[in-house]
Amino acid sequence: MPSLKILIADDEAPARNRLRDLLGEFDYINIVAEAKNGKEALDLAIGTNPDVLLLDIRMPLMDGLETAQHAQKLTPKPQVIFTTAYDAYAIKAFDLSAIDYLLKPIRLERLQAALEKVQALQPNQLEALRPLQKTRSHLSIHERGRVILVPIRDIVYLRAELKYVTVRTIEHEYLLEESLTHLENEFGEQFLRLHRNCLVSKEYIAGYEKHIDENNDSQWHALLKGVPETIAISRRQQHLVRQT
């Protein structure tokens, strides 16, 4: 079997140690990094280019499911094996989606079998796991051959423009290939749709003011914390101003 570079991600040190010991039984395995959460795993993967990610499903900061989703933008794209303590709902989802997983405590024979048939995840498989996934903690931006992780808490607004969505933080703007409707469905508790093409973080709304244009028509705008621009509020959404 050809050599495999593996990255282990698990928030529990004993679980990482167990995997390291088991993987040491295979002379074709090279453990290139270990991580305590998904965010750390992705940062390490960018520098080590692992062939396989061994991802615990439940981790703090970023879980294994979100990590696998962001990992689809890495080049080269790593293959994925999930690890989990017994969770009947999760196991059923993996089985129905034909996605391999390792049940803790992991046995050597089962690990070997998983490594021998490991494969890249398909978009439809990841989509089937969405019911298991918590709301993402980050958006992943593919930019100039690298993957940038943008924390949701740092996003001021999301604005649809043609086939892209502009992701605006205080310091930067990024382009994301996702639909605004999909983002609203996922992050609707944190963002308000002030216009048909714009979602604004509730945390970054500083207030509202009325603007008068050259035709003497008025329109409410949202004032934003940390950025100079304002966001026009559509007439349909002006009830949000009255509620403040």
Q: Tell me, what CATH number does 201's domain have?
A: 2.40.50.1020
Retrieve residue 11's tokens: 């928030």
CATH of the domain at 96: 3.40.50.2300
Distance CA 138, CA 42 (A): 12
Pick the last residue of a domain from 62, 97, 132.
132
Please name the amino acid found at residue 182. H
Chosen domain end from 132, 152, 174: 132
Q: Encoding tokens for residue 229?
A: 């621009």
CB 54 within 8 A of CB 33: no
Q: Which of 132, 157, 190 is a domain's end point?
A: 132
Amino acid of residue 165:
V
Digits of tens for pLDDT over the chain (244 positions)?
678 999 999 999 999 999 999 999 999 999 999 999 999 999 999 889 999 999 999 999 999 999 999 999 998 899 999 998 877 777 887 887 778 889 899 999 999 999 988 878 888 888 878 777 788 999 999 887 788 999 999 999 999 988 899 999 999 999 999 999 999 999 999 999 999 999 999 999 999 998 887 777 788 899 999 999 999 998 887 777 666 5
pTM across the whole model: 0.84
User: Does 78 lie in the same domain as 189?
Assistant: no
SS3 (DSSP) at 171: coil
Q: Provide the domain count of the chain.
A: 2
List helix spans (H) across the chain. 13-23, 38-48, 64-71, 88-97, 108-116, 123-128, 180-187, 239-242
Burial label for 3, CB within 10 Å (0-12, 13-18, 19+), is exposed
HSE toward the beta carbon, residue 36, CA cutoff 13 A: 4
Domain that holds residue 57: 4-132
Same domain for 151 and 92, yes or no, is: no
Q: Which residues pair with 54 in a beta bridge?
A: 8, 81
Do 142 and 87 reside in the same domain of the chain? Answer: no
